Structure 1
Amino acid sequence: MITLDDVRAAAARIEGRVLRTPTVPSHALSKATGAEIVLKLENLQAVGSFKERGAANKLALLTAEERARGVITVSAGNHAQGVARHAALLGIDAVIVMPRFTPAAKVTRTAAWGARVVLEGTNFAEATAHADALCRREGRVFVPPYDDAAVMAGQGTFALELLEDAGALDMLVAPI
């Protein structure tokens, strides 16, 4: 289970590695809903998503030996770009397995960070199976796109910033 302390530690770890995005009121949404709506502009991150936070945290926790082995992940987009970017910043060799249906723009943006992109699988399960096999064959460290405490703690740091900026909330709606 991820604790608030885990998220706070992740926030300290990735500070300066990701953008502290602004929180802004949305007058149009507030008027339409009759509630006070604020938006956390995670689209301003270098890869356009909060997913970068999880990748940054996970990679920052790797040992020198793990970094030397390189990393691999499977993703059709935002997590892929986050891993590629932060691997490049840390000097870690990265392989990103993406399903063949991944939009060309996502593939191009991921490769632009210097990662080796492998297009494999007609669905996410096939891409994941290929990433697992490649991980074992090359001895890389797998960076899960979800269901990983370090990744989730890093992704959760946006909520800490949101609460600091906006104060108490009645409801938080976030993408997954």
Structure 2
Amino acid sequence: MGDRTVSGKAYIETLFEFNKLISHAEDVSVVFPDLVEQARKLIVFDNFVIYLEEKGELRPAFARSVGRGRSKEADIAWGESFIEKVFESNKLTIHQDVVQGTNDDRLKIPYYIGSPLRHGKTTVGVLIMIRFGGPEFKSQDQQTFTFIADHIAQLLERDVLVSTIAQIEGSQRMWAMQENFVATVS
């Protein structure tokens, strides 16, 4: 078992709660803090970052520091050096920065886990979790992380679809108004 804060029945209940948050979310940006809270019950991490592709660049769309280093939020690692590696490999990736000599500052020993966020076959972003000072992400942590990343990708995809539908419906209303106007003028 990985380094989770819950196990057994509580683990299953937390997975269910995480899934429920995803399926009932109406506003993506509002639900992210609750998702981070539930995710932290499933897997221990210090930083949680979602990068989304925008005009050919990966930009942070949501970032939260919840563990070690949250008081030094501006000075700690957010995975900038790691995101391209995850995006280009297009698969679950794990990395630990190499530290020369002894280092007692755990904030300078980040362990990264990252996964692409996909809409179908298209990669639209990257989810990264960072754990300072270890331990490394074990197999169970990797499976849990993949579950979290896949569900967040589904949430983001649904948000895009809802936005697209709203645009189409707006266009249809505009066409209907124009047709009514033409019919009235004729």
So what's the TM-score if we normalise by structure 1? 0.32
* Bigger Rg, which one: 2
The answer to which structure, 1 or 2, has the higher relative contact order (CA under 8 A, 6+ apart) is 1
Per the normalisation by structure 2, the TM-score is 0.31
